[in-house]
Amino acid sequence: MNTAIDELVGNAVAHEADFEGPRAVIPAKHVAIVTCMDSRIDSFRIFGLDSGEAHILRNAGGLVTDDVLRSLVLSQRLLQTREVILMHHTNCGLHGADEPALRAEIAADAGHAPPYAFGAFEDIDAAVRSAIARVRAHPYLPHRDRVRGFVYEVETGHVREVTLPV
């Protein structure tokens, strides 16, 4: 019985035959994109990117966690990115999730609660604004002036910008 992993490994082998060759380690567009791990989000297609043009950082909810900040610091300080796109999306699993209930369920199964928060949120625009503010306030990021937030609408493909109040 073949698994999804077997299929994907087969695709990787086929990819090798079409491989275009190595690319520069520095992203050509000097941009990093933070978005959700949701499989409906194809950042390359949404933003018209090719391989080697941007750093794509993904996690559940597209949240600006400590590890995302660590990655952005490395992206900027070592790999010359200068701009950041933060993109949440509609119909996200964390939007409206009952985090206390999830933590309780996990604690019941594992014997103790996880040491991290999951980051459930009620208001998607507020979550994007919070992410923008967190990146702009991070003292180890040398380039905090070009940080913009967006919501990708998985139902229509529309990307709309979310701005901070002035």
Residue 6 lies in a domain: no
CA distance 142 to 7: 42
What's the CATH code of the domain at 95?
3.40.1050.10
Mean pLDDT to the nearest integer, 80-92? 98
Mean pLDDT to the nearest integer, 125-141? 98
User: Domain count of the chain?
Assistant: 1
Residue 91 lies in a domain: yes
**pLDDT (tens digit, 9 = 90+) per residue, 138-165?**
999 999 999 999 999 999 999 999 998 8
- Per DSSP, helices labelled H in 19-65 are 43-47
Residue 49 lies in a domain: yes
Residue 13 lies in a domain: no
**pLDDT (tens digit, 9 = 90+) per residue, 14-64?**
999 989 888 899 999 999 999 999 999 999 999 999 999 999 999 999 999
Residue 3 lies in a domain: no
- Per DSSP, helices labelled H in 1-65 are 4-18, 43-47
> Over pLDDT 70: what percentage of the chain?
100
Residue 37 to residues 42, 64, 99, 138, 165: CA-CA distances in angstroms? Answer: 10, 13, 18, 23, 28
Residue 18 lies in a domain: no
Helix (H, G, I), strand (E, B) or coil at 166: coil
Residue 121 lies in a domain: yes
For residue 60, the enclosing domain spans 25-162
